[in-house]
Structure 1
């Protein structure tokens, strides 16, 4: 099981996932822009630029990926460009005036996001052709756990003051992230990837790229499930908002929240990866159920008490992040293991592009929170999570052929 391709995948993903944690736009880049005096407008652009840039271009990239017989270079180049972008951000923060540095960082984040989309669009196809079914979920789970330990250590060092919370130090962490991405790229190119000789026959017209939505019922259920499980990604900011009623705020509890999120990743990533190798369908169902229950409890207590302590909010974030890790592991493994008729890159890019568009619509939830409170938004997200359980139930047991007891009833 622990053969050379498996080890290369785990090593490369660990390095890049750790880099992701060190540069986290929601926390690290937001803090850095604020510290160097960038405008609030730029800080507000961080997450939309990062998420939309990483997902929306994938359908266009899928054309080039699908034509290529060897695809590891798409991932490696994407990782390397992310690394160079991160190094540029660190340099901008150190050497440029605050407002100028802010714009440069946003521009480089856009470049990083597009490079990330090349990694995402190509990876599942590469994984499916280099690692055996039944172990693919453990690749992401193992890498996620190892990277989360590194991010946890970073959070601890910041929390206790061993790493001063100063722009120069945070810029150094971002530069380290850049080096990790480059090292991950160099590691990945050593992967022995078999050539896909059917690549030249692929239909890469726009209608061909969109065809899975029309022809593949399994894929439509997968898209529906993944769309509803967006709730697990969107919930944390609104959970944090619950604490604002008693004087707590996200900045005051930032260290505690980062630790809660890191511990959730460490505690659950490998478990979810192994479970998704056994049944990605049931992993998605369980993740949706855990998210739905957690958000329902949080909203109910919020309505009744009109506040939440820092410890309670951290507990919500902890459990919701466990559900988020399950949703990530389940959706990635299901798409990798399901039959895609040799179009894994197209299926990946199409699903990510559609989800990227839906994530942009998630901005509406902020307006709802302003009008009706975070509790109302959490109720909406809880309903989506529970709906995901029912749509995931319609999925096939794509791992049935590697299980001794056959498909679940």
Structure 2
């Protein structure tokens, strides 16, 4: 890792970042970078919550009378589209002297795509709106792939090993406050009209543009190794046994991301209204992020594989609780579905924190972008397969799909215990 050092005094920022990281004597340059990481990530995480395809965009397309087939395409476009292109983007990232510029470009394009989605929702309806919004979401997903493939490398170069989880964890907790407000508006009934939802989506676009501007100010040292990552290099990376095991574990734990819509289906069977479910899911996710992201981040700095194991167990327990609520007829109660959703989202944010920290610490310093690209491309393929399997199981019953995801989460958590304890490469 190469963290730029300087002798300048910037005590207020250094002191603030020291409190965030729980360490003293942090270099002023790293302190400035750390605060910029936190601010940029917080903006993008709020934007993610405001434009969540599983919830917000699904509600929007339904309100616009878009055919259900296009509504069903939202999550695959967003999730797989953000992962599959990374193996191709990694070559470009590794040729760049300063990889932050790929993240800046990706965040800016996400902002423009979000504004396009808001405009389509205002100007179009029916099939035309669905096609336009799905196309803009595809662009947003590709831009997100660029951010993902470059971010871990920038984080590794600019933030010390024992402080990376604190940076990403605090950003998750800070961002969740804004999403909580959005969720409360949904629950209150003030967001039943389409205009406030479109404003929220447009605000997400503004936040992504602001994050791009902030991230451009990060002080990143030029990379000495600027050779592209060719196909042979990717094959060699896949020969890394630790990485293959990580891909298997992370692939099983995608169940924490795919299960929430099926919990909503369970609750709807209990009689809850659509907007109540939307607000409850958004609030559960935001509250879980606020209460757990920083804690998960700090724990990941100590043992990211243990966090993955705990997260898998927590997800399985939460999904099992939802099944019990459904079995005894309580899933429609005002507290039951949000409680199960909260536990699942705590587990989901644990997986998100730990998988990022593990990969940054495990991958060789000069190959982080390539390792991230290989892992994420593989996960994109697994996500499509697991998502299709979940859809097939849901045709039998939402409860069957929830049980399947619970089994995958539990198995993934158990296998995480066999991961090597990652140390900075």
TM-score by shorter chain over 0.5: yes
Residue 237 (1) aligns with residue 261 (2): yes
Shift of 1:308: 4.7
Residue of structure 2 in register with 1:376 after alignment: 400
Q: TM-score, normalised on structure 2?
A: 0.88
Residue of structure 1 in register with 2:90 after alignment: 62
Question: Distance in 1 between the 2:319 and 2:271 partners?
Answer: 21
Q: TM-score, normalised on structure 1?
A: 0.92
Residue of structure 1 in register with 2:238 after alignment: 213
Residue 272 (1) aligns with residue 296 (2): yes
C-alpha RMSD of matched pairs (Å) = 2.0
Which deviates more from structure 2 when the two are superposed, residues 83-92 or residues 71-80? 83-92
Residue of structure 2 in register with 1:363 after alignment: 388
SS of 1:264's equivalent in the other structure is: helix
Tell me if the contact between 2:266 and 2:331 (Cα under 8 Å) persists in the aligned partners: yes
> For structure 2, which runs of at least 5 residues remain unmatched after alignment?
1-13, 18-30
Q: Deviations over 1:347-393 (max 9, x none)?
A: 1111111111111112221221222x223222322222222223211
Q: Deviations over 1:197-241 (max 9, x none)?
A: 1122x5x22121232111x12111211111111121122122222
Residue of structure 1 in register with 2:204 after alignment: 177
Which deviates more from structure 2 when the two are superposed, residues 257-266 or residues 91-100? 91-100
Residue 79 (1) aligns with residue 104 (2): no
Tell me if the contact between 2:33 and 2:159 (Cα under 8 Å) persists in the aligned partners: yes
Q: Deviations over 1:25-78 (max 9, x none)?
A: 112112222222322222111111111111111111111112222110100000
Question: Distance in 2 between the 1:378 and 1:36 partners?
Answer: 29
Residue 153 (1) aligns with residue 181 (2): yes
Residue of structure 1 in register with 2:309 after alignment: 285
Tell me if the contact between 2:156 and 2:365 (Cα under 8 Å) persists in the aligned partners: no
Change over 3 Å in CA distance of 1:243–1:277 after alignment to 2? same
Question: Distance in 2 between the 1:250 and 1:316 partners?
Answer: 17
Shift of 1:306: 8.7
Select which of 68, 71, 74 maps to 1:43: 71
Shift of 1:173: 1.3
Question: Distance in 1 between the 2:89 and 2:252 partners?
Answer: 25
